[in-house]
Structure formats: C-alpha cells, structure tokens
Chain A
C-alpha cells in the first residue's frame, strides 16, 4: 500500500490537528457534565470547568424520579425508531422503482419530486392536511408527514443505480419478480445507504420540536425536545417550584445541565453501534442526483 510503516512528521502533525478538533468538540459537552455533577458551593463561585468539584448527584436523582421525563424519552425513542423504519420502507421502495429504466413516467415523477424539494410548504395548509388525515394528536403525526423526503429519494435512487445491472438481469432471467429483486437483492446490498439515510432521518426525529408542538395536544405524547424546551428555556415555574430548600444541594442550573445530559445519553449509547454503518458508507461516492 501507499503508506510507510513508521509514523512520518506528516502523520504526527495530522494527528495533533485531529486531536485538537476532537477536544474542541468534546470540551463544551464535558463542561456541562461537570456542572451537572458539581457541588453548589463551587458552582456559585464559578469554579467548575471540566471536572466535577464536590461530587453531587442530587440533580440526577431528581431527573430520574421524573415520570414525565421518562415518558417523553420513551415517546422520542419510539418516534425515532418506528418513524425511521417507516421512512426507510417508503423511501427505499419508491427509490428502487425510480432507479429502474422500466419504471413508467420516470422522468415526470422525478421532476415532480424535485419540485417538492424547492418550494416551501406553508404552515397552515400543512397543518390542515395532517389534521384532515386524522393524524393530529397521535404519534403518527410525528412520523408520517415528513417520512418521504425528496433529498433522500435522490440519494437512494442514485445508489441503487450504482448496483451492477447484470445482477438484475440475471435475477430477471431466473424468474424473479420486481418485488423479489427489491427485497432479496437490492435491500441486502444497500445496508450502507439505508443506514446513512436512516441516521439522517433519525436525527431529525430525535430532535423534532416544532412539529410536535403543533400536532400534539396530550401531555402524554410529547417527545423529549418539547419537554426539554419547557424545562430548560421556559421553565420559570419549574424553577419557582423548587426553591433553595426543595432543591437541597442542587442548583437550578445544575438541574438544567442534568436534564441536558439525560436527553443526550441515548444518543451516546446508540451511536457507536451505528457508526460502522455510516463510516463504511461508500454509497455516497456518487451524490449525483
């Protein structure tokens, strides 16, 4: 291969730059973790940077005892996972069809899809359509309306087109139907693109705020980000409920930090497992639509 075995000056400089970049990414996050775990005495003196001082886990005790936070977490996990699976099913099937030359009206449909990528969807008509579809105040309203994205279709379609056509021809001659080719040949060959698009979509689902705000009425069905905003940004009354004495050794800012960490934990847990899929992601080699 092209690299020499001993580390060159280039490799060292390169590594130093990358480590610096990684530290920049981590530092603010570590600071929040340190705040969430520190003692009030040090917090009031502004003496906490990247290591907790006077270890204090009360904020987590409080957060873990909140049923509403767990519920919101469950809703978020659900709409992320189920929503992503649904989106992948819809996007991959249409992308497969559009990737095949035999697809009738192919160019017209692609153009029609491109139009949705360009023009904005105004709020009121969007709201009325979701309502008319009877999705309002159900978890479907957080998964269905945005499931099919033009951008994702184009990426996936171009990936499918990159699969060797001889495979399809051979399969067709063996008597495979299009459904079978799609399910048995194309999908298994496409884990990389499915994982990548899935993660793109899942991040949007996990961080969903506005859509949940307008479509969800029941307290029980609110995802994490809505609750998070009420607690972290607007949570006046929440703080007002817990004065000095109720808070014991924890400060409201520490509580905020703990809630932020709580909402981030699932990502940190899941994400090393997913990484291998999108690091591979050779499929995006051609982003040509």
Chain B
C-alpha cells in the first residue's frame, strides 16, 4: 500500500506548483496600466541565458525603464522555430512583434494577403524618423521586407556587411614550417601534413585539416573557388539557374571527394552537430574551419582555446581573377520584424523602433555592455568592461543582450566595445577580411520560389536531392559523372524547370 502515502503528497506538490505559476503571471499583469505593453518574439538562438529568462527578467525591466514601454520577450525553441511560428499562426495567437525570414516566407504563406501583418508604409516615415533616415533605403524595397510596394517588415541588422572568414590554427601552420595558404591548391599540402603530424600531442592521428558540419553548414571553403555555391543562383545561358546543377558543381564535388578520400575532412561530416564540431576545434583536432567574424567575441575568443593555440583568419581562397570569394553576398540583415495586425497600438511599436534607432547613450550602453553594476562598471564616466568576467561569460549573457534581446540588430561589433574584447586585434583584421570574401550572384534578395515551396527537396538543405547526391559522390559510393547527371535530370523533372522559369521571370522584372 505504498500508494497511500504518495497520493496526498503529490496533491500538495500540485497545489504548490500551481500557486507558483499563478503568482508569477499576476506580477506581470499589475504594471501594464499606463505604458503600452509590447511583447516581442523570436528564436532563443540556443542562447543559455535566453533559454532560462523569466517573464520579469532584469534586462526587460531595464529596456522598459529606458524606453517607456512595457517590454518583454517570448522565446521560441531554436531548432523548431519555424514549426512553432507556423502553429502560432494557425492559432492566431501571436505577440505584438515577431521575427521571420521574410514577410512572404514559406512558413506562413499568404500571411500578407490575409492581412496578418500591420502595414507600416505610412507609419514608419511618420513615427520613426530616426529609423527611416538611418536604415539603408534599399532595405525597405527588399522583397523580404515589402510586398507590392507596401512595407510590412523592419529589418534586423547583421553586425557586418559580410561575415564569413576562414579561421585557422596559425601555430600549427608555423610549426609545420608552412606558409598560410592562398589558393585552394595551397591548402592540400597543409592538410596532408596536419593529418600526418600529431600536432595536439595526444598520441592519436585525430587531426583534421578542414572541420565540417552536417548539411555543409559552415563548411564553405572549396565551393566559390569553382564559381559555385550550393544555395546560390547565377545567370547562365540567359536563365537564372541554381549553381547546384551547373557543370562546375561537379568539379567542386570531385574536389570534396578528394578531401574526403584523403582524410582531410572529418569522415563523420554528414552527422556532425555544431556542438561536437566546436568541441573538436577547442580540443585541438581541427586546423581550418569557416565561420563568422563576429564570433571572435564569444565562440572563437582566444580564452576558449588551449593556451598555446594561436588563431588567425584568412579570406576565401584566391581565384584566377584575383578575387577571394567564399560565400554569396547578401543584404546585411538577419531577419525581419513584423507587427501583428491585431496589436492594440502599432504606433507605439513603431515609436519603440524609433527609440531603438535614436542615439540615446543609455540605450546604446545597455545593448552593448549590459547592466551597469552587473556586466560593467563606470569609472570617471568611462565604461570598464571585462568580457571574461563570470557575469558576462556565464550563460553567454553578453550575446544575450547584444544579439537576442536587441530589436535593432546584432551589437557584437559595436565600435564602442570592440577594443575591450580579448580578440580585439584579430577582430580588426577579420572585419575587412570578411568583406573581401563574398561574391555577387543573381538570386540576391530573391523571394522563395513557388516551385520550391511546393517541393522542398529542390533546395540544397537537409533532405534535399542535392545533398543526397553530394553525399554519394563525395563518399565514392557512386561515380561522380553518372550521379551528377542523374541528379540534374531528376532535379529539373521534379519542378526544377518551373523553378528556373520563376527565377528568370523574377530576375527580368528586377
């Protein structure tokens, strides 16, 4: 009769938990009387602080105090954000402001036509003059922001116009007596030596030349040297066609195959999660990898590596023209805020964004350095900020207020703070390097094509025809020419021809 004692105890536990939940929600309801209440929503970006933030978080309170609105955030679980957003649309229960990839995203098709978003065309010039004047004018015309000449979105800015660079272990290259690689061919002998030398000294042959992740995520090194990139489209033969079906793509895949067969990339790149990839890099198992320059402030900060590690950055491999392409260029925004059409006071939202774009020094400090007395101190009116202090490192708090919490954009590269990071010198080198490492392409700002919405396996992402073919070619399971030709035919047949037609038509109108 062990059950007897358990039941009352559980009922009590239930009551207590219920009380705790109820009292929490009452707290927030009490203060809404006068100030307009604005709830934001976006992915938590797997940021540990965002994953644990409570409804009355101290950073929300500070934003509320400075802005005069009752500000709070709701976080969507990062890896399922699109599905969660879609469910929220189905229920019609959305917060006041939330982020999406595009006002015409395939995750909420027909949202604009259904009147789900507030039309901001007239509100922004009138109520947000700061933002209207300072946002690059072209951004408002971007198809991710406006549709049929009406503005429905507010861009969320990237910290840099271009972000991707090649990272490498300079100490390794030096110890091997090699020079930093310039062209793609230069990488091969270095990879070979890395593989053959026990550079991390653990007695195992576990050093990898180029560290890669699943679905080719942040695995950018070789593509652009062949004039292609899995996700980009170019004008070829009068039509806008995806690079993945271009003949040069086959050459790129043959090169990947060489990397794979020689053990210059990790054999488990097909299943490598970001977590494990970072772990390998930290524990000195990877020589080269490609990632974003702004992550020097957190992920690739020198204090995260063993003491003898020396990092450096490179542009993309140099090609015949002298350019150093790595990834396709893009407008420097990483998402679009849309305002719920049902929100009580859209003007208050627009005014809030105007405040975000003002030069209020307190606001700038909050989103750059955090809370005074918590994340930084002031001496004689000057900010003293230690990026390695526990309050800043734990739970990745700095990224939380600079990036996730920040409705304007990513503040990691704010000039006010760059000199206070441990990686300051490398950051100053990485910013122009990233700028050199982009190439232009025909599908810049292209909306998601109808044919692709209909058949997602036409993309280059997880579960796509392209990725499956690339995997078979690179691992040598199928002959490159046969597999590639079969893929191109299949891709076109499954709706690719229609996609090319739609892309070309869109390009012609532009």
Residues 335-358 of B at the A interface (beta carbon under 8 Å): none
The reply to whether the CB of B203 lies closer than 8 angstroms to some CB of chain A is: yes
User: Contact at A124–B87, with CB atoms within 8 Å?
Assistant: yes
**CB within 8 Å of A: which B250-289 residues:** 273-276, 278-279, 282-283
Check A81 for interface membership: any CB of B closer than 8 A. yes
Give the CA-CA distance A230 to B13 in the complex, in Å.
27
B21 touches A138 (CB 8 A): yes
List chain A residues, Cβ under 8 A from B301.
243
The answer for the CA separation of A230 and B275 in the assembled complex, in Å, is 11
Q: What A residues does B24 contact at CB under 8 A? A: 220
* Chain A count of residues within 8 A CB distance of the other chain: 49
> Which residue of chain B has the shortest Cβ distance to A276 in the bound complex?
B2
Docked-complex contact A235 and B303, CB < 8 angstroms: no
Q: Are B283 and A241 in contact (CB under 8 A)?
A: no
Q: Does A233 contact B (CB under 8 A)?
A: yes
CB–CB B90/A124 < 8 A: yes
Partner of A239, one of B54, B279, B295: B279
Interchain CB contact under 8 A, B52 and A237: no
Bound: A232/B46 CA distance, A? 11
Give the shortest distance, in Å, between A54 (CB) and chain B (any CB).
14
Given contacts A78-B13, A218-B55, A219-B51, contact A243 B282 (CB under 8 A): yes
Q: How far is the CA of A127 from the CA of B84 in the complex (A)?
A: 11
Residues of B within 8 A of A221 (CB): 21
Question: Do the beta carbons of B87 and A239 come within 8 Å of each other?
Answer: no
Cα A235 to Cα B295 in complex, Å, equals 16
Chain B residues with Cβ under 8 A from A236's Cβ? 46, 273-275, 278
Q: How far is the CA of A213 from the CA of B83 in the complex (A)?
A: 10
What's the tally of chain B residues with a CB closer than 8 Å to chain A? Answer: 56
The interface residues of chain B, by DSSP majority, are classed as helix
A237 close to B45 (CB less than 8 A):
yes
A237 and B282 contact, CB distance less than 8 A: no
Please pick, from A81, A214, A234, A253, the residue contacting B10 in the complex, using a CB distance under 8 A. Answer: A81
Given A44-B283, A191-B3, A251-B283, answer yes or no on A245-B304 (Cβ-Cβ < 8 Å): yes
Interface check A240, CB cutoff 8 A: yes
Q: Tell me if A139 counts as interface (CB < 8 A to partner B).
A: yes
Q: Which of B10, B282, B298, B303 contacts A82 (CB 8 A)?
A: B10
Contact A240 B74 (CB under 8 A): no
Which chain B positions have C-beta within 8 A of A243? 282, 301, 303-305
Bound CA–CA A236/B24 (angstroms): 30
A-B contact pairs, 25 of them (CB 8 A): A44-B200, A44-B283, A45-B202, A46-B204, A81-B10, A82-B14, A123-B87, A124-B90, A128-B90, A136-B93, A138-B21, A220-B24, A221-B21, A226-B77, A230-B78, A230-B79, A233-B273, A236-B273, A236-B274, A240-B304, A241-B393, A242-B304, A244-B283, A244-B303, A256-B275
